[in-house]
Amino acid sequence: MEEEQFDVVDQNDQVLRQAARSDVHRLKLLHRAVHVFVFRSDGRLLLHKRSPDKEEFPSVWTSSASGHVSAGEAYDESAPRELKEELGITASVERLHKFSACEQTSYEFTVLYRAVSDQPIDFDPGEITEICWKTLAETAEWRDRKPEEFSPAFCLLFDWYRQVSQ
């Protein structure tokens, strides 16, 4: 199977070239990702625990769905694709904010989206080992008590989301 290709970008998120996933991560090249916060209609946020087989941040809790933007793909195409691939759901997504690439985001320019869905979740067991639904307050209390249980990118995005949603 051919290795996944990513767009390598500059400090302004302009595409420079394409490179293989392994090279992008090994060389810490700037690239692109999306995260989606999925909420139930009652306001609870879906969190998922990453597989222990994940290359980066195995076995930690993170955003409802997240993933890389493939070479030639737009952020707005990636978010619904990740919902379907990781959670088995289809939902409209609302673009919230774009974060600059930094160490916390693993050198990924990251766009955060929000979706609301009461559909049953059928997660990909190759990506996710478990899920849970938490209120924002419960999530904040857990993250504050045990920050090591969460991915750095999730912490950055979640802090921003809490600040703007108050």
Q: How far is CA 165 from its chain centroid?
A: 19
The pLDDT of residue 46 is above 80: yes
Give me the CATH number covering residue 124.
3.90.79.10
Q: How does strand 61-62 pair with strand 65-68?
A: unpaired
* Burial class of residue 78, CB neighbours in 10 A (0-12, 13-18, 19+): buried
Helical ranges in 27-166 per DSSP H: 75-82, 136-145, 152-165
Torsion of CA 70, 31, 78, 72, to 10 degrees: -40
User: Between helices 136-145 and 152-165, what is the axis angle to 10°?
Assistant: 140
Predicted model pTM: 0.95
Phi–psi pair at 108, nearest 5 degrees: -110, 130
Range of the domain at 127: 5-165
- Tens-digit pLDDT profile for residues 61-118: 999 999 999 999 999 999 999 999 999 999 999 999 999 999 999 999 999 999 999 9
d(CA 59, CA 39): 22
The pLDDT of residue 55 is above 90: no
Looking at the structure of the chain, the number of domains it has is: 1
CB 109 within 8 A of CB 86: no
Q: What is the pLDDT of residue 11?
A: 97
49: left (phi over 0), alpha (psi -120 to 50) or beta: beta
